[in-house]
Amino acid sequence: MQELVDNLILRWGHDPASWPITQGVYLVAMLLVGMALTTFGAIFAGLLSWWERRIAARMQSRIGPNRVGPGGLLQFLADALKLIGKEDLIPSESDNVLFRIAPYFVMTGFVLTFVVLPFGYRLSPTYMNVGLFYVVSITALIVVGILISGWASNSKWSLFGGIRAAAQVVSYEIPSGMVILVPIIMAGSLNLHDIIRAQGGAPWDWFMFQTPMGYAAFFIFFISLLAEGNRTPFDLPEAESELVSGYNTEYSGMRFAYFFTAEWGGLWVMSALLTTCFLGGWQVPGVSMETLTRWEAANAVPWWFYIGSAAVFVIKVLALVNVIVWIRWTFPRIRVDQMMTLCWKYLVPIGMGLVLLEAFTEILSFRIFGEAAKGQAKLGSPRDILHFAFFVIAGVLPLAAFFMKTFRNIQLTGDRVDLSNW
Amino acid sequence: MALDQLIVTKFGTDAEHEMILNMGPQHPSTHGVINFVVQADGEVMKKAVPQVGYLHRAIEKIGEIVTYPGFMPYTDRIDYLAAMFANEGYALAVEKLLGLQVPPRAQYLRAISCELNRIASHLISLGTMAMDIGAVTPFPYALRERESINDLLEALCGARLTYNYHRIGGVAFDMPEDWMPLCRKWLDHFEKILNEWDRLISFNEIFVERLAGMGTIPAEMAVNYGLVGPNLRASGVDFDLRRDEPYGAYPDFKFMIPIGTAYAGKHRGGQVGDCYDRFYCRVLECRESLLIVRQALDKFPDGEFMAKVPRKIKPEVGEAQSRIEAARGEMAYYVVSDGGERAYRVRARTGSFLAMGIIEDLSRGLMIADLVALIASLDVVAPEIDR
Amino acid sequence: MPGLTFEQIHQRLVEKFGDAVGPLSPPKKDPFCVFAAPRLGEICRFLKDDPALYFDFLEDLTATDHPKENLIRVVYHFYSYRHRHLFIAKVELDRKDPQVDSLEPLWKAANWMEREVFDLFGVTFRGHSDLRRILMPDDWVGNPLRKDYTESGGYRGISNVRDNPLDLYLNMDRQVRAEQAAAQSPEAAAPPAVAPKAEG
């Protein structure tokens, strides 16, 4: 982004290095970009709430919001207006300062992750060398906010929610941090853009299908991210049927909207991380590193490539978001001790094993194939064939079986598959 | 304050180191208005003391004030989710006092309406149990099927929830002409939906793990504490009033009685009488009720739907007890007559009342999430407890 | 083993306990017999443990109030799952101070049912582990299911009487009409009989 601002200053006829108000322009640019990202996060959270409510309703034989705006699309604006206009209620026995600042911790932790997420080819505000590490550590601010809100509400039930959330999120940082080493080893860098570049356009060149370790790592990372985002089946901190709303029971109005935005917007962050690390980021066949090499060498990347890559990224992220929403409305929630057992007794050892195996495989691959194991394989090379075989066995066949089973289940209840009933 | 005295008497002096929480009376997952005072050491409970009475409406006292036929709408409110059974129990007790014989068509109508109501009540119970465990989707599925039952029963008797359909001597209305084919069509549809229900939630790994081996009630404990109905059968006791002490039209029907056999499976820690058994027994009971309604529709007799009953019901001095297999267990009515128009004493002993008594003794060592699952699996509803 | 009839059960009890077991009432729709209150515990233990009787389910425990005979009768319904037979027994207690042994050590089902009888009738059960009110609030005064129970005019400041809403509405209506008539009478000379019709 700095290059962009420098180019702009040059166009205005000044030299960025010597112009006295360069820093001022940088500051203004940062503020603008920050506001844009926050707006994007908030609007995405709102639209996602609409999407989730429609999906949940259709899954439950009912309709969901469909009055406000075309198909209920503006429902989230109506909700936001209502929440802003609500009375600012603070429980009388609560800790004044802590109660007020808790939502800001959560919002900060959420919004700051947008700084490194790649929206497309070279479309992210910063180009951090330690991008992945930064994201994993900055999301830890969220649990601080949750714990503060649970304590400050001065209600035993909220405290329950806050403590459960702290235990859960802190526990699942371990397997998520461990298993993210797998794509890092495969790519050789912590930079999110490099990780994307190390994958290829075709699906069997994505990290998820390159090795079985990548495949397993995808699922473990998926589970850990669900747990970190307090999504079902890990939504014990806000278990509606036990704690009414857990740590944010006492919050109403705009403060509740902050928690709400952070949770729903966090789905974007989760899905973006998964897409970047395992599903090839903004690459598909045709909009990928292979087609890019010629243009990059000539420093003449066409304008439609940027937009195309952004579109691909958005589509992939939305697909994953959809899966997360789907899971929420299908599965029950697991209990605290089962959640802890899953994390410490299963995911952590498996994660460790995956990292070791992946490191071993990298070295082996170097020895066998002679080339660096990372990056997409040359078309037709033995490595490429291995990837394709694994992709078919582990990706295409299970998906096809799943869809066939779903259609059969629908027929067994005497119903038909009918998408026109939206 | 009553709560302080309760804490001192029930929880002892180490209550200073643990949390005393109030779960309820307004709570999304206690089934109705019930309060639990929970002494919890973190998530693990030491004791959960139920406090009931928030929904006490003095129905038994009202039974002494209104006439015998006039009490029938009040029986609906004893358990509004399975109101047909409450109606039938009271009608059977008063008919015993009067020595009335109910015509067969009325008995069949009673059986059909009761079994449909059993399915509706079980759907609510299963749906809310799934919702308490966290799976929100099965509940609207159950409600959707229950809407069809409500429509059928509304065509039959005019009401969707508190039916007031049975009368002393028979039923209030006859079956409408086109009701039978509609009912059959719905029964065929519902059979497939039950399979879908199993695929959706009954065999879901997370669901079974939450419930297997939890809140196990051995058979002797269940009998001693007076559990009835699906709770008793899930603990392994093979007893069902419809088969063993039959009343009404039930001797004409052939059906199975689902008994708890650790349906969760040994590999998941399932035991006979755990929460999953109670859940799955109710699912199987829905299937059996389906069969009963089909048989009743096939064998439906002609005749009167109401016996000849005197204008003013004045039974002679005496007392009578009737027991019926309601959706939540055996409901026993005990009616004492002193020869007048109004009963001397009406008593309705419900299954949920006894089921609440077992929660305090089972709650030691459970987690709060488990308490929610336990209450849901015992299928208690506040109106039955408090009357 | 087929279940025993009421007469056979009664016979067996009379053989064991003699006088403590009263005669079987004539079968006025449901025969019962009256036990002597002091020996209730041992009779019930026999009912529960004897292999031929084996009443393992305490089906119902309730009471009836008879102020004319100055008695409160506690009614017990026993049922046996093994033999599928039923028995009904009663205990007659003095209405001034009704006390009887608790059956909780034998059947835990008696726990809550005896609490309910304690709450609604005022019968004390000796040996009960936790005898306190269950359906009424803890500081309620009186036993509601007794025949001579009268409400004490409110609970903790909440009144239990109110005016008939129809009367309230009629009063309000009359008042409003009177005010409007008073406002109009200085101006118009209309006789009051016409005024209600004009404002209707």
How do residues B193-250 score in pLDDT, each as one tens digit? Answer: 998 888 888 888 889 988 988 889 999 999 999 999 999 999 999 999 999 889 989 9
Residue of C nearest to B353 (CA): C112
B372 with A242: Cβ contact below 8 A: yes
Chains A+C touching (3+ CB pairs under 8 Å) = no
pLDDT grade for C187, boundaries at 50, 70 and 90: low
Highest mean pLDDT, choosing among A403-417, B238-252, C149-163 = B238-252
Are the beta carbons of B199 and A242 separated by less than 8 Å? no
Is chain B adjacent to chain C, meaning 3+ CB pairs within 8 angstroms?
Answer: yes
**One domain for residues B80 and B118:** yes
Closest C-alpha among B29, B47, B230 to residue A333: B29
Low-confidence winner among A203-207, B80-84, C23-27 (lowest mean pLDDT): C23-27
Residue A150 CA to residue A129 CA, distance in Å, equals 35
DSSP string, A248-304: GSS--THHHHHHHHHHHHHHHHHHHHHHHHHS-TT-BTTBSHHHHHHHHHHT---HH
> How far does B318 lie from chain C, in Å, by closest CA?
5
Q: How many CB pairs under 8 A join B and C?
A: 93
Inter-chain touch B206–A244, beta carbons under 8 Å: no
* Dihedral Cα A178, A184, A186, A188, nearest 10 deg: -140
Point out which residues pair with B36 in neighbouring strands: B23, B50
Q: Do you know the residue count of chain C? A: 200
Residue pLDDT, tens place only, A98-130: 888 988 999 998 999 988 888 888 788 888 889
Tell me: the pLDDT tens digits for A320-356?
999 999 998 988 888 888 889 999 999 999 999 999 9
Per DSSP, the three-state class of A422 is coil
Q: What is the predicted pLDDT for the residue at A375?
A: 60
On whether the CB atoms of residues B129 and B376 are closer than 8 A, the answer is yes
CB contact under 8 A, A332 and B135: yes
Closest in C29, C84, C109 to B354, CB measured:
C109
A244 — pLDDT class (breaks 50, 70, 90): low
**Contact state of B321 with C112 under an 8 Å Cβ cutoff:** no
Say yes or no: B335 and B316 in one domain.
Answer: yes
Chain A residues within an 8 Å CB radius of B207? 332
Question: Nearest residue of B to residue C121 by CA position?
Answer: B61
Q: Which residues of C touch B (CB under 8 A)?
A: 28-30, 32, 56-60, 62, 64-65, 75, 77, 81, 84, 88, 107-109, 111-113, 116, 120, 130, 133-139, 144-145
Residue C76 one-letter amino acid: Y
| Placement of tokens 């992939």 in the chain | A316
d(CA B82, CA B79): 6
- Residue C89's DSSP bridge partners are C33, C76
Element at B37 (helix H, strand E)? strand B35-41
Q: Which residues of C touch B355 (CB under 8 A)?
A: none
Report pLDDT digits (tens) over C75-110: 999 999 988 888 999 999 998 889 999 999 999 999
SS3 labels along A126-144: CCCCCHHHHHHHHCHHHHH
pLDDT at C200: 39
What's the half-sphere exposure (Cβ side, CA atoms, 13 Å) at C179? 5
Comparing CB atoms, the residue among A60, A157, A232 nearest residue B140 is A60
Picking from B31, B64, B125, the residue whose alpha carbon sits closest to that of residue B383 is B31
Q: For residue B367, what is the DSSP state?
A: B
For residue A58, the Cα-to-chain-centroid distance in whole angstroms is 24
pLDDT in the model for residue A370: 67
- Give the nearest partner residue to B140 out of A62, A333, A336, using CB atoms: A62
Question: What integer pLDDT is reported at residue A245 of this predicted model?
Answer: 65
Rg (CA), chain A: 23
For residue C35, report the phi and psi dihedrals to the nearest 5 degrees.
Answer: -95, 155
| Omega cis (within 30) before A233 | yes
The whole-chain average pLDDT of chain A stands at 85
Are B29 and B68 within one domain? no
- Residues B74, B197 share a domain: yes
Instruction: Show residues of chain A in contact with B200, CB under 8 Å.
Output: 330
Chain A contact probe: residue of B35, B137, B185, B190 with most A CBs at under 10 A: B137
Contact between chains at B52 and C32 (C-beta distance less than 8 A): no
Smallest Cα distance from B323 to chain A, Å: 34
User: Which residue among A157, A242, A413 places its CB closest to the CB of B193?
Assistant: A413
Report how far residue C140's alpha carbon sits from residue C124's, in angstroms, rounded to the nearest whole number. 16
Q: Do A236 and B369 touch (CB under 8 A)?
A: yes
| Residue A256, min C-alpha distance to chain B (Å) | 20
Cβ atoms within 10 A of the Cβ of B15, count?
15
Q: For residue A272, what pLDDT is reported?
A: 92
Give A212-247 as a DSSP string. Answer: HHHHHHHHHHHHHHHHHTT-TTS-GGG-HHHHTTGG
Mean pLDDT of A263-280: 90
Residue A171 and residue A390: Cα distance in Å, rounded? 32
- Contact: C138, B2; criterion CB under 8 Å: yes
**C-alpha of C119 from chain center:** 9
B154 touches chain C (CB under 8 A): no
Q: CB atoms < 10 A from the CB of B151, how many?
A: 13
Residue B328, both tokens: 């939540």
ipTM of the prediction: 0.87
Q: Considering only residues 93 to 132 of chain B, which have any Cβ-Cβ distance to chain A shorter than 8 Å? A: 130-132
Are A334 and B135 inside 8 Å of each other by CB? Answer: no
How far apart are alpha carbons B246 and A276 in whole angstroms?
Answer: 67
Question: pLDDT band at A281, cuts 50/70/90?
Answer: confident
Nearest residue in C to B345, CA atom: C64
Same domain membership, residue B29 and residue B172 = no
% helix / strand / coil in chain A, to the nearest 5?
70, 0, 30
CATH of domain C6-126: 3.30.460.80
Burial class (CB in 10 A: 0-12, 13-18, 19+), A105: buried
Q: Is B18 exposed, middle or buried (0-12, 13-18, 19+ CB in 10 A)?
A: middle
Looking at the structure, do residues B335 and B207 belong to the same domain, yes or no?
Answer: yes
Contact A242 B192 (CB under 8 A): no
Tokens read off for B326: 């309601």
Shortest CB distance from C144 goes to which of B61, B97, B318? B61
C-alpha distances out from residue B153 to B147, B163, B164, B324, B332, Å: 10, 8, 11, 20, 24
Neighbours of B43 (CB within 10 A): 18
Residue B46 shares a structural domain with residue B153: no
Q: Please list every residue in chain B whose beta carbon sits closer than 8 Å to the beta carbon of residue A337.
A: 43, 367
Cis peptide before B104 (omega within 30 of 0): no
Taking CA atoms, what residue in B is nearest to A326?
Answer: B137
Q: Which of C113, C69, C73 is nearest to C90 (CA)?
A: C73
Residue B46: give the domain boundaries: 2-51
The bridge status of strand C33-35 relative to strand B329-337 is unpaired
Residues B45 and B113 in one domain: no
Work out the angle at residue A80's Cα, subtended by the Cα atoms of residues A75 and A86, and round it to the nearest 5 degrees: 130
Question: Residue A249 contacts by C-beta under 8 Å, 6 or more apart in sequence?
Answer: A153, A155, A157, A158, A161, A243
Q: Which residue of B has its CA nearest to C112?
A: B357
Q: Are residues B41 and B132 in the same domain?
A: no
Read off the pLDDT band of A292 (50, 70, 90).
confident
Show residues of chain B in contact with C62, CB under 8 Å. 334, 347, 349
CA distance A155 to B57: 32
Predicted confidence (pLDDT) per residue in C31-76, tens digit: 888 888 888 888 899 889 888 888 999 999 999 999 998 999 999 9
Residue labelled with tokens 């180490």: B14
Among B residues 198-237, those touching chain C with beta carbons less than 8 Å apart: 223-226, 237
Contacts C144 to B, Cβ<8 Å: 58, 61
Contact C140, C155 (CB under 8 A): yes
Q: Which subunits have 3 or more CB–CB pairs within 8 Å of chain C? A: B
Give chain B positions within 8 Å (CB) of A406: none
- Report whether B314 contacts B341 (CB < 8 A): yes
CB contact under 8 A, C111 and B357: yes
Average predicted confidence (pLDDT) for chain B: 89
B237 CB neighbours in chain C (<8 A) are: 81
Rg (Cα) of chain B, in Å, rounded?
Answer: 21
The partner residue sitting opposite B318, judged by closest CB among C29, C56, C139, is C29
Radius of gyration, CA atoms only, chain C: 29
- Name the residue among B53, B323, B336 with its Cβ closest to that of C135: B53
Phi/psi at B207 (5° precision): -65, -45
Domain count, chain B: 2
**Which of B19, B134, B367 is closest, CB to CB, to A232?**
B134
Q: Give the CATH number for residue B376.
A: 1.10.645.10
Nearest-neighbour CA in chain C from B133: distance (Å): 28
What pLDDT score does C199 carry? 42
Are A31 and A1 spatial neighbours (Cβ–Cβ below 8 Å)?
no
pTM (predicted TM-score): 0.88
Q: Determine the residue type at A25.
A: V
Asked if the C-beta of B15 comes within 8 angstroms of chain A's C-beta atoms, the answer is: no
Q: Which of C59, C81, C111 sits opposite B239 (nearest CB)?
A: C81
